[in-house]
Amino acid sequence: MDFSTVRDQMRLRLGDTESTFPLLADEELAAFYAAYPSLLSATAKAAQALANKLMLQSVDVTLGNDLRVSFTQRAVELRAVAKDLETTAAVSATV
């Protein structure tokens, strides 16, 4: 990762830093930045889109007694991240 790039700064804020299985494609991140040229606004919109993807999967998986993955909960958490980024972007825009 090259955190000097907008793309990787967006990935860092989204927690999408696993290069083997990225949650969003580079082209998707570029599209959000083109549509919303503020880094924080673009990342907020990307977080919303990622939450939407997870809601479409909308399954919770339990493997044995030890591992549970809740895509629904991850979507809720990503929406909270998106809201926080939007608030930060709005405050930054007025300063």
Q: In this predicted model, what pLDDT tens digit does every residue of 21-53 receive, in sequence order?
A: 998 999 999 999 999 878 999 999 999 998 888
Whole-number pLDDT of residue 22? 92
pLDDT band at 95 (very low <50, low <70, confident <90, very high): low
Whole-number pLDDT of residue 66? 78
Give the whole-angstrom CA distance, residue 75 versus residue 8: 21
Q: In Å, what is the CA distance from 83 to each residue of 12, 41, 92? A: 16, 10, 14
Residue 10 pLDDT exceeds 70: yes
Higher pLDDT pick, 95 / 52: 52
